[in-house]
Amino acid sequence: MKWLGVLLAVAVAVIVIYKVNYPSYSYRYRLQVSIAVDEKIYTGSSVIEVVWDCGPKIAGLGRCAPSLGGPATLIDLGAHGVIVATLRSGENISPTPDGAIDAVWLCASAFGYRSTNEELPALPHLTGRRNLSVSNLPRLVWFVNPADMKSAQKVTFLNVASVFDPTAHFTEAFVEITRDPIVVDIPNKLPWFSELRRLQKEGKGTLSKSGQFQLVYNMFVGENS
Q: Which residue has the higher pLDDT, 182 or 208?
A: 182
What global pTM score does this model have? 0.88
pLDDT of residue 62: 63
Position 27 confidence tier, pLDDT thresholds 50, 70, 90: very high
CB 48 within 8 A of CB 68: yes
Task: Provide the residue type at 205 as one letter.
Answer: G
**Mean per-residue pLDDT over the chain, rounded:** 88
Amino acid at 140: L
pLDDT per position as a tens digit, 34-70? 999 999 999 999 999 999 999 876 555 568 999 999 9
pLDDT, position 19: 47
d(CA 153, CA 209): 8
Listed by start position, the domains of the chain span 23-219
